[in-house]
Amino acid sequence: MRYLHTMVRVKDLDTSIAFYKLLGLTEIRRNESKAGRFTLVFMAPPDQPECPVELTYNWDGDDGLPSDSRHFGHLAYAVDDIYAKCAELQAAGVTINRPPRDGRMAFVRSPDNISIELLQAGDALPPQEPWASMESTGHW
């Protein structure tokens, strides 16, 4: 048995691709089905093409999106500098739902309400502002 990918449904393909690019993922493969009326875009960290997330876009829309996809759980990615990544995401308009107060873990949401966990690679960074005193927003 071998891990293949995680699939999430998306409402706006371009907006979702832009979000996952902000996280640092790159598009590694794309499949379009005219008969099935859908597009699949596989995105992965540059050095881990074997660990993609599959963005599934239904051409005829999906009235259920975005919903509270909390039942899904979350995707998780290790980052080299959690403070820098959160600052980059925040500058691009992404809400930091659970700030990295501990220098170790943060949560954000994709445009399709998928919970994304960001974990500091290696040891936690020392707490620093503005993150240490920042309140959570919504849920993650």
Residue with tokens 């907006």: 15
Residue with tokens 């690679």: 121
Give the active site residue among 32, 117, 129, 135.
Answer: 117
Q: Which helix (H) or strand (E) holds 86?
A: helix 82-91
CA 113: distance to chain centroid?
9
Q: Which helix (H) or strand (E) holds 30?
A: strand 26-33
Does 135 participate in catalysis according to the annotation? no
Rounded Cα distance between 30 and 78, Å, is 24
- Residues identified as active-site: 117
